[in-house]
Amino acid sequence: MTRFYIVGLGNPGAKYEKTRHNAGFLALDDIANNLQFPAFRDEKYHRALESRGQVEGKTVWLIKPQTFMNLSGDTIGLLRKEGLAPEQVIVLYDDIDLPLGTIRIRDKGRAGSHNGMKSLVSHLGTECFLRIRIGIKPTHAVANLSDFVLDKFSGSELEILQTTYPLIAQAMKLLLTGKIAEAQLQFNQKAQITQG
């Protein structure tokens, strides 16, 4: 049976909880809670917190790298040694260019300015892998993007972010069953409408 790795990107530690850069971690927490996965365990060999279960009849590992964002790919590199292939990976991460409250499904693409994604691409050796981008775009001018992504979500922003969790779960289930085009059609159009 094929195993899938749902990788949420973020920074470990209380200092970074509920920051915009941790949108991937927050989404994974919601998935684990709603699908009744066991509590995340510290897998020191993989340098990650992991929870393992079943979704849509598939074996799924939920993974939160604990290496800090810029080295997120280190965890993937360790899993690669155990047989992980790019087609088994779905990455959840924050996207500064996508409006808050929307998501976008991609099956390939460049990492852009996202250092966590740069690290993953480096360790996977390809830009062809599934990802669910989670919008965190500011609604006002921002002087320093690094500061913005490392700031905590406001209460109202968290409420909007939480509306994406059911969308992320639905998209993940479609991707796990190979319905990539259907997921893109269903969720990417919503993102375009919100942007327009």
If residue 60 lies in a helix (H) or strand (E), which one and from where to where? strand 58-65
- Please tell me which residue in 21, 46, 114, 123 is annotated as part of the active site: 21
Residue 161 tokens read as 């972010």
Residue pair 94/161 in contact by the 8 Å Cβ criterion: no
Please give the Cα distance from 104 to 86 (Å, whole number): 19
21 is catalytic: yes
* Burial grade of 10 (CB within 10 A; 0-12, 13-18, 19 or more): buried
DSSP letters spanning 64-89: EE-S-GGGTHHHHHHHHTTT--GGGE
Supply the residues annotated as catalytic. 21
